[in-house]
Amino acid sequence: MEYSPPQPPSESGRHDGIAWCLWLPPGEGPWPAVMVLHGAGSRKENHADYARAAVAHGLAALTFDNRGHGETEGPLGSGVIDDMAGLAAWLARRPEIDAARIGVRGSSMGGLLAIHLAAASREIAAAVAICPAAEWMLAEDVQRVLDGRPPPAGSALSEMRVDAPGLAAWLDRNDVEEAAARMGAKPLFLIHARGDEVVPYTSSEKLYERAEEPKRLLLLEGGHHRSAQHDPELQGESLRWLARSI
């Protein structure tokens, strides 16, 4: 059997210093799209599998490095949602994209930010949040940096460039449960493994309680913090849900 290399992105570039890759289905658009948000200490390349799965389901996908990560300029700080809202607006203006049908999918810290982005951006029509973190889970490590101490061993913060005062202020004044409520009628799909050793699955249960309909909560038996992110079956489930919801 002849080897076929994985599909590369259709285009890559920078917007306001944010490094991105855009994946487009074959044929002519405009296409519905999904913005793919990585977790703390990760980068866009780690979610190319989801982008390729999105293309197979007829969606365009935008992967990117958040501030403080990968090839993107600048530290992660208080402007994180404004940065992503600007990127969503830029994506909506592209002729290949159906501006009325853009969703967001994030995992861990990316899940937290996906909910905030959906609540803040008119361009985002729906959100998928996988094992979403909460602000308090990040705040302790950021406070250590503010105090002049290194992050704990193994902390994702050690792999990030952060504006510690700005990020601490953002974490202090925001609450992801309130953001879930502010999404209003925008659809929200929460996926969480009961065996998550980093973010307790009860966090997603609380988010589900605060969110309005339409909403869905999928709790997986066993697993761990990363098990739901790259599972092909779950990727397909979330993409089929997005295609119906945006």
Tokens at residue 21, please? 């890759």
What pLDDT is recorded for position 4? 62
What pLDDT is recorded for position 2? 58
Which of 13-17, 124-128, 141-145 is least confident? 141-145
Q: How many CB atoms lie within 10 A of CB 79?
A: 17
Q: Is the pLDDT of residue 171 over 60?
A: yes
Q: Is the pLDDT of residue 96 over 70?
A: yes
Q: Is the pLDDT of residue 3 over 70?
A: no
Enumerate the domain spans of the chain: 11-245
- Residues paired with residue 215 on neighbouring β-strands, in sequence order: 188
Q: Is the pLDDT of residue 141 over 80?
A: yes
Alpha-carbon distance of 26 to 213, in angstroms, equals 33
Backbone dihedral angles phi then psi of residue 36, each to the nearest 5 degrees: -110, 115
Q: Is the pLDDT of residue 105 over 70?
A: yes
pTM of the model: 0.96
Alpha-carbon distance of 42 to 204, in angstroms, equals 21
What pLDDT is recorded for position 1? 54
What would be the CATH architecture of the domain defined by 11-245? 3-Layer(aba) Sandwich (3.40)
